[in-house]
A and B are shown apart, each in its own frame.
Chain A
Amino acid sequence: MTDSTHTGGDVRLSGISKSYGSFTAVHPLDLTVPQGSFFALLGASGCGKTTTLRMIAGLEEPTTGTVFLGDRDVTDLPPYKRPVNTVFQSYALFPHLNIYENIAFGLRRRGITSVKKQVGEMLDLVQLGDKASHKPHQLSGGQQQRVAVARALINHPQVLLLDEPLGALDLKLRRRMQLELKRIQTEVGITFVHVTHDQEEAMTMADTVAVMNGGRVEQLGAPADLYENPRTTFVANFLGTSNLIEAEVVEAASDVVVTAGGGTLRLPANRCSAPTTTGGRLLVGVRPEKITLAHADDAGAIAGGRNRVTGRIVDTSFIGVSTQYVVDSPAGAALQVYEQNIERDSRLAPGAEVVLHWNPAHTFGLDAAQSVLAGTVGDAGLDEAEDAA
Chain B
Amino acid sequence: MTLTDTTPAPPAARTRSARKRLVPYWLLLPGVLWLLVFFALPMVYQASTSVQTGTLEQGFRVTWHVATYWEALAEYWPQFVRSLVYAGTATFLCLLLGYPLAYLIAFRAGRWRNLLLVLVVAPFFTSFLIRTLAWKTILADGGALVGALDALHVLDVTNWLGWTQGDRVLATPMAVVCGLTYNFLPFMILPLYTSLERIDGRLHEAAKDLYASPATTFRKVTFPLSMPGVVSGTLLTFIPASGDYVNAELLGSTDTKMVGNVIQSQFLRVLDYPTAAALSFILMAVVLLMVTVYIRRAGTEDLV
List, in ascending order, chain A residues with CB within 8 A of B225's CB.
Answer: 95-96
List, in ascending order, chain A residues with CB within 8 A of B202's CB.
Answer: 88, 90, 92
B212 adjacent to A92 (CB under 8 Å)? no
When the two chains form the complex, which single residue of A57, A110, A135 contacts B209, counting CB atoms closer than 8 Å?
Answer: A57
A92 adjacent to B208 (CB under 8 Å)? no
Distance between B126 CB and nearest chain A CB, rounded to angstroms? 39
The CA-CA distance from A151 to B224 in the complex, in Å, is 19
The CA-CA distance from A78 to B224 in the complex, in Å, is 23
Is residue A155 within 8 Å, beta carbon to beta carbon, of the partner chain? yes
A135 adjacent to B210 (CB under 8 Å)? no
Which of A58, A85, A105, A151 counts the most B-chain CB atoms under 10 A from its CB? A105
When the two chains form the complex, which single residue of B205, B224, B302 contacts A92, counting CB atoms closer than 8 Å?
Answer: B205
List, in ascending order, chain A residues with CB within 8 A of B17's CB.
Answer: none
Binding site secondary structure of chain B? helix
**Nearest CB in chain A to that of B200: its residue:** A92
Is residue A52 within 8 Å, beta carbon to beta carbon, of the partner chain? no
List, in ascending order, chain B residues with CB within 8 A of A109's CB.
Answer: 210-212, 216, 220
List, in ascending order, chain B residues with CB within 8 A of A80's CB.
Answer: 208-213
A106 adjacent to B211 (CB under 8 Å)? yes
Distance between B205 CB and nearest chain A CB, rounded to angstroms? 5
Chain A interface size, as a band, is 20 to 34
B211 adjacent to A135 (CB under 8 Å)? no
Is residue A94 within 8 Å, beta carbon to beta carbon, of the partner chain? yes
List, in ascending order, chain B residues with CB within 8 A of A96's CB.
Answer: 221, 224-225, 227, 302-303
List, in ascending order, chain B residues with CB within 8 A of A79's CB.
Answer: 205, 208-209
The CA-CA distance from A84 to B211 in the complex, in Å, is 9
A92 adjacent to B211 (CB under 8 Å)? no
List, in ascending order, chain A residues with CB within 8 A of B200's CB.
Answer: 90, 92
Is residue B40 within 8 Å, beta carbon to beta carbon, of the partner chain? no
Is residue B35 within 8 Å, beta carbon to beta carbon, of the partner chain? no
List, in ascending order, chain B residues with CB within 8 A of A57's CB.
Answer: 209
Is residue B271 within 8 Å, beta carbon to beta carbon, of the partner chain? no
The CA-CA distance from A283 to B210 in the complex, in Å, is 48
Instruction: Mark interface residues in A72-115 (1 if CB within 8 Å of B CB, else 0).
Output: 00000011110011101010111110000000011001100000
Is residue A59 within 8 Å, beta carbon to beta carbon, of the partner chain? yes
List, in ascending order, chain B residues with CB within 8 A of A88's CB.
Answer: 202, 205-206
When the two chains form the complex, which single residue of A94, A110, A155 contacts B206, counting CB atoms closer than 8 Å?
Answer: A94
Is residue B148 within 8 Å, beta carbon to beta carbon, of the partner chain? no
The CA-CA distance from A262 to B200 in the complex, in Å, is 61
**Nearest CB in chain B to that of A101: its residue:** B220
Is residue B203 within 8 Å, beta carbon to beta carbon, of the partner chain? yes
The CA-CA distance from A92 to B216 in the complex, in Å, is 17
List, in ascending order, chain B residues with CB within 8 A of A95's CB.
Answer: 203, 225, 302-303
B209 adjacent to A59 (CB under 8 Å)? yes
The CA-CA distance from A57 to B205 in the complex, in Å, is 10
B210 adjacent to A155 (CB under 8 Å)? yes
Distance between B197 CB and nearest chain A CB, rounded to angstroms? 15
A135 adjacent to B302 (CB under 8 Å)? yes
Instruction: Mark interface residues in B35-52 (1 if CB within 8 Å of A CB, else 0).
Output: 000000000000000000
Distance between A66 CB and nearest chain B CB, rounded to angstroms? 20
The 3 closest A-B pairs by CB, nearest first: A92-B206, A106-B210, A109-B211
Chain B residues near A (Cβ < 8 Å): 200, 202-203, 205-213, 216, 220-221, 224-225, 227, 302-303
In the complex, given contacts A96-B224, A109-B210, what are 14 additional A-B residue pairs having Cβ atoms less than 8 angstroms apart? A81-B211, A85-B209, A86-B206, A92-B202, A92-B206, A94-B206, A95-B302, A96-B221, A96-B225, A96-B227, A106-B210, A109-B216, A152-B210, A155-B211
